Amino acid sequence: DVKVTQSSRYLVKRTGEKVFLECVQDMDHENMFWYRQDPGLGLRLIYFSYDVKMKEKGDIPEGYSVSREKKERFSLILESASTNQTSMYLCASSSGAGATEAFFGQGTRLTVV
Amino acid sequence: AQSVTQLDSQVPVFEEAPVELRCNYSSSVSVYLFWYVQYPNQGLQLLLKYLSGSTLVESINGFEAEFNKSQTSFHLRKPSVHISDTAEYFCAVSGGGYQKVTFGTGTKLQVIP
């Protein structure tokens, strides 16, 4: 079974802190994604990566950056956390091009105080 | 550009009654369509997908969805719901490169005993 693992289920950080959200997948998938999920807004794509060291902005990249140094790991970075970044963050992966499904992690609920 | 509209944010239904969750999409290219389900405190799981071929697709737990190109819809149906179907359901479309997937805002299905 494909497994996408997010390092934390719950995280509380202070405004201005640098925050790292880690995601690891074990199926050698080329594509990895970071979404944030907010009530009434569904899932919005922050960044995605289709290869090591490659990244593309999604729909809401402001305030975020990403890193993909190894194929299995995709990190989301909040350079200076703000309260409006309090949200559920979901990592996903999928294989190559073509219409394949995305596999999701359990999510990280981040609260910025 | 592609987008997804889920017309109902919440759908209450009695157990063993039928249900339809509505989804409309827009895309400038050929699309692949998905329904994902999210149970409380979990990540998203693929429920079913339309890639090509038969316009009616089914899941293993009794849900089905029909791709209607003329109406740009991909509504999800189940003839008889169970308590365990209580969850949030997301419609998604993919048609761009590198498998960028756009999600709708979600519909919460509440099954009432």
Taking only the tens place, the pLDDT of each residue in A79-103 is 999 999 999 999 999 886 656 788 9
Residue with tokens 């990244």: A55
Instruction: Using a CB–CB cutoff of 8 Å, tell me whether A100 touches chain B.
Output: yes
Res A34: pLDDT: 96
Closest-approach residue (CA) in chain B for A101: B46
**What average pLDDT is seen over chain B?**
90
Report residue B98's pLDDT band, with 50, 70 and 90 as the boundaries.
low
Q: How many CB pairs under 8 A join A and B?
A: 59
Report residue B62's pLDDT band, with 50, 70 and 90 as the boundaries.
very high
Task: Residue A90: list chain B partners with CB under 8 A.
Answer: 43-44
Residue A76 main-chain phi, psi, to 5 deg: -110, 135
Put simply, the answer to whether A41 touches B6 (Cβ < 8 Å) is: no
Closest-approach residue (CA) in chain A for B50: A99
Of A52-61, B13-22, B45-54, B62-71, give the lowest mean pLDDT range.
B45-54
Distance between CA atoms of B102 and B113, rounded to whole angstroms?
33
Res B107: pLDDT: 97
**H or E, element range at A37:** strand A31-38
Higher-confidence residue: B52 or B83? B83
Indicate whether B56 pLDDT > 90.
Answer: no
Instruction: Record the tokens describing residue B12, joined without a space.
Output: 């209450």
Asked if A77 and A64 touch (Cβ cutoff 8 Å), the reply is yes
Cβ neighbours for B107, distance < 8 A, ≥ 6 positions apart: B6, B8, B9, B10, B11, B21, B22, B88, B89, B90
Task: Residue B74: list chain A partners with CB under 8 A.
Answer: none
Put simply, the answer to whether B98 touches A45 (Cβ < 8 Å) is: no
Task: Residue A45: list chain B partners with CB under 8 A.
Answer: 100-102
Mark the ranges of chain A whose per-residue pLDDT is less than 50: none
